[in-house]
Chains A and B, each alone.
Chain A
């Protein structure tokens, strides 16, 4: 099952990228208390998924994107550095949304594979993780909607 391993690797890598990026944005925007704390809460969700994925990785192996049979074309390297200011926060939230979408679709594909394999553990994990990713996306969407008008119209 070499291609499942590719996707296990992809989901693990994309969760890692998302968690790191959430922490970068949270830290850089720490003056906004809700951004700081919620980014850390959401990052912890991704950490948990990766921890639960470990036994699965042992079962099926893991291939990192770069060396996989199907090489990366779209490089989602994550946010090594956050922006500043109101518009910067909006852009950061949008980038996080892109990263979380990649996580979500990766879990969707893994879930399909788990169904084919009748792997109950992986099925449960993919379902639960997918629900958490939906929560991450929902918060990012909520924040973008709330902060956009001020950032676009009156922020310096």
Chain B
């Protein structure tokens, strides 16, 4: 593979690519250090071997555990970067073949709260809105979402609007003064910078303003929602003055932001990790849904909610049941839903674990830690770097009691702790589909063979199922497919009739000029640009994906309680009181610690760091502190500091930047795999050494953004921090050389704008 280019008529990106797409799409594929042969641990180190031997080791352990203790000994931890077909196959192997509830993905770390928030408000996962809302709104609210850095292509589309003759106003909720925050100021909007850990107090304040100023669409709310009175009572104590005190924002800024929401005809809201990975994540994200419901702003062009996803196929992991849900966004607590799956797979319903929600990732590692999960299979992800409290994850994966299987493109910090390593194929080396945050399904076809003996994740999973002799109740092979297209067709059947309906799609249909957003069926053969245009939500007790939770504790609502509420297609307005974060600054650890991303790297840099242009733009870890904190601590740009929390420490250079006073920001991408002559963990620069093992009670997403730390100077650094100057990590004050661009790329403006599928400005296109 030598390059990529955009497809001009595609509804998702209009042919645009971002820096990671332009520079990071193909370099990894031909990297000389790709994994090309399976490896097994022998004599304390990983030794290359053939597939038969490596898979034989896994099957031997798997079979022994199943025979002696049963399927609850098996855990699967997958990714947000495989294909739909691979997740669905994995889900069938785990849930129907083995019968283990212990399956989740790293989507738990990035996007679980998006799914949870949708389920709580609308009954089922799935974005109500569309990227086309950008073109039709008159204000855009970004909640904990530095879109300029995390979704550069989408941000370019926002800039098309904000730099036009009729710009929408931007409201930015972010503790850093990001590019988005500056755009908010430039468009006459507001930048709200709440203290880390106080999002819900801020949201309760905004909600209260809608009630207090009569901005609620009472007629719509009465017809299409349930819970209005309780919500009003819950948010009543959050006056602008009280919110100002809790969050450290100005009361008048809060009022101005609420007024923009209350007086706009069309608001697009986007939400990301600033909410999802922070304290009271689900409650704060549900509060965004509430604002839209109270204003009756759902289902119309310009009135979108985008609870964003972090990884390319996070949506598929959620839909297909590889990540702690049942396939087709079915409800584990609904016996009819479980019976449907049992029928599809021809297995006894009792085989499919459904006595409790599928086990979430943090709990899977907890079970492995306490020794009751003895086989943990990790595919396409690197928890040693990406999960919170690194020392704990290393302890779990090195324990004798847990047999660890890892499949990946490269050796990573996680493969180094594995007992068996399988070499996997990446995109372009295999075929499959992926679905992005606004439900748009794309087909990605195989272009080249994977290197050496590497195999697609689908082939690896099926190889295991065959070697184990997994069958349905009539003795037929399980799963009943071997190719990506057959897996996709099986998935179409699994999704038929559910809100996430792929039944009208096929590989052939996806070979057109654009991706197609689900649902695609007889009623919507060209797909669906936005959901809930009729104000009817999939909240009915027999249809919903969950009966819901107490947003404060995570206690589940029972079927009887849900039925008694008779939601009947009405959306839920749910609130919760603000409670302070689990760890607050103290005398010993006086600063707030928060982690995040940089635009030039992805996840744990497995692919992006193998692109020279991206590597040179963001070559090493750093931390950001504010100017006042730097002055107080006697620290200057580039100094090497030790940052410590009760759980661990890192030593990195300082960027004096735009982070709010009292907070420290660290990028989470940097482990140790690319450091030469340095043993694992000898040089700590890994942000997750400091984070806590604590998660949201509803979405179970870990909190990476609420911990306390202290910063001390170790020595002068002899130069500026290796942080990009072109992103949120831009320096304040110091004279730092500008981050240079990469190799030359080519872009051109089309003479004519293509006709986009389901364009809401063209009547009768399925856009409504």
Contact = CB atoms under 8 A, between A and B. Distances in A.
Interface of A: 31-34, 37-38, 41-42, 44, 85-86, 135-136, 138-142, 145-146, 148-150, 153-156
A154 B72 contact: yes
Contacts of A149: 72, 101, 353, 355-356
Contacts of B582: 37
Given A33-B694, A139-B550, A154-B72, 19 more contacts: A33-B362, A34-B362, A34-B697, A37-B694, A38-B553, A41-B552, A135-B553, A138-B550, A138-B555, A138-B557, A141-B555, A146-B356, A150-B367, A153-B69, A154-B69, A154-B372, A155-B370, A155-B371, A156-B371
Nearest to B389: A33
A153 B556 contact: no
A135 B363 CA distance: 22
Interface of B: 69-70, 72-73, 101, 353, 355-357, 359, 362-363, 366-367, 369-372, 550, 552-557, 579, 582, 692-695, 697
Given A135-B550, A139-B550, A156 B555 contact: no
Contacts of A155: 370-372
Contacts of A153: 69-70, 72
16 contacts: A34-B554, A34-B697, A37-B582, A38-B554, A42-B553, A135-B552, A138-B556, A138-B557, A140-B555, A142-B554, A142-B555, A149-B355, A150-B372, A153-B70, A154-B73, A156-B372
A146 B333 CA distance: 12
Given A139-B553, A154-B69, A41 B579 contact: yes
A146 B700 CA distance: 13
B228 to A, nearest CB: 18
Given A154-B70, A154-B372, A33 B550 contact: no
A145 B355 contact: yes
A105 B752 CA distance: 72
A140 B556 CA distance: 10
A139 B555 contact: yes
A132 to B, nearest CB: 10
A34 to B, nearest CB: 7
B363 to A, nearest CB: 8
B70 A146 contact: no
Contacts of A145: 355-356
Contacts of A44: 579
Chain A binding site: helix, strand, loop or mixed by DSSP? Answer: helix
B693 A33 contact: yes
5 closest residue pairs by CB, A with B: A138-B555, A139-B555, A146-B356, A139-B553, A154-B372
Q: Which among B356, B371, B582, B695 has the highest number of chain A CB atoms within 10 Å?
A: B356
Contacts of B694: 33-34, 37
A86 B550 contact: no
A33 B353 CA distance: 24
Contacts of B69: 153-154
B367 to A, nearest CB: 6
Contacts of B557: 138
A107 to B, nearest CB: 18
Contacts of A156: 370-372
A40 B692 CA distance: 17
A138 B560 CA distance: 13
A150 B552 contact: no
Contacts of B356: 145-146, 149
Contact of B554 (A86, A139, A154): A139
Nearest to B333: A145
A82 B71 CA distance: 29
Q: Which among A32, A138, A141, A145 has the highest number of chain B CB atoms within 10 Å?
A: A138
Contacts of A41: 552-553, 579
A38 B697 contact: yes
Nearest to A135: B550
A149 B101 CA distance: 10
Contacts of A136: 553
Nearest to B68: A154
Contacts of A32: 366
Nearest to A140: B555
B390 to A, nearest CB: 15
B253 to A, nearest CB: 30
Contacts of A146: 356-357, 359, 363
A109 B556 CA distance: 26
A41 B579 CA distance: 9
B230 to A, nearest CB: 10
A135 B695 contact: no
A86 B370 contact: yes
B616 to A, nearest CB: 39
B560 to A, nearest CB: 12
Contact of B372 (A42, A86, A135, A140): A86
Contacts of B101: 149
A42 B359 CA distance: 23
A149 to B, nearest CB: 6
A106 B646 CA distance: 41
A150 B693 contact: no
A74 B515 CA distance: 66
A86 B368 CA distance: 12
A14 to B, nearest CB: 20
A97 to B, nearest CB: 12
Contacts of A150: 72, 367, 372
Contact of B695 (A31, A33, A148, A154): A33
A43 B692 CA distance: 22
B256 to A, nearest CB: 33
A113 to B, nearest CB: 25
Contacts of B70: 153-154
A57 to B, nearest CB: 25
A83 B553 CA distance: 22
Nearest to A40: B582
A41 B694 CA distance: 14
Contacts of B73: 154
A142 B363 CA distance: 14
Contacts of B371: 155-156
A36 B328 CA distance: 33
Contacts of A34: 362, 554, 694-695, 697
A145 B354 CA distance: 11
Contacts of A140: 555
B578 to A, nearest CB: 12
Contacts of B357: 146
A42 B554 CA distance: 11
A135 B576 CA distance: 12
A135 B554 CA distance: 9
